[in-house]
């Protein structure tokens, strides 16, 4: 899923698992696959395990 426009235009399927980056067909944004995945996770409101200590 494109982290910029939200379109599901990314590579999918076994044949495309090796793709490191892709270009969104909708908005033309170039994405690194892993970075885009991280951005999508952030958009969903999940914090990374390395989020740090809570402020007391
Ligand atoms: Zn897009």
Q: How far is the CA of 16 from the centre of ligand 1 (A)?
A: 18
Q: At 55, is the pLDDT very low, low, confident or very high (cuts 50, 70, 90)?
A: low
CB contact at 8 A, 43 and 36? no
User: How high is the pLDDT of residue 27?
Assistant: 92
User: How high is the pLDDT of residue 40?
Assistant: 84
Domain locations along the chain: 1-47
Task: Report every protein residue that has its C-beta within 5 angstroms of ion ligand 1.
Answer: 2, 4-5, 7, 24, 26-27, 29
Q: How far is the CA of 7 from the centre of ligand 1 (A)?
A: 5
Mean pLDDT over the full length of the chain: 77
CB count within 10 Å of CB 16 equals: 11
Q: How far is the CA of 55 from the centre of ligand 1 (A)?
A: 35
Tens-place pLDDT, residues 37-48: 888 888 887 555
Tens-place pLDDT, residues 4-44: 898 887 666 666 667 778 888 899 988 887 887 888 888 88
Alpha-carbon gap, residue 6 to 9, rounded angstroms: 9
């Amino acid at each position: 899923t494109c982290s910029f426009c939200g379109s599901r235009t990314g590579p999918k399927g076994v044949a495309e698992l090796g793709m490191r980056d892709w270009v969104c067909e909708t908005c033309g944004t170039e994405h690194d696959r892993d970075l885009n995945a991280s951005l999508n996770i952030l958009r969903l409101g999940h914090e990374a395990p390395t989020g740090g200590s809570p402020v007391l």
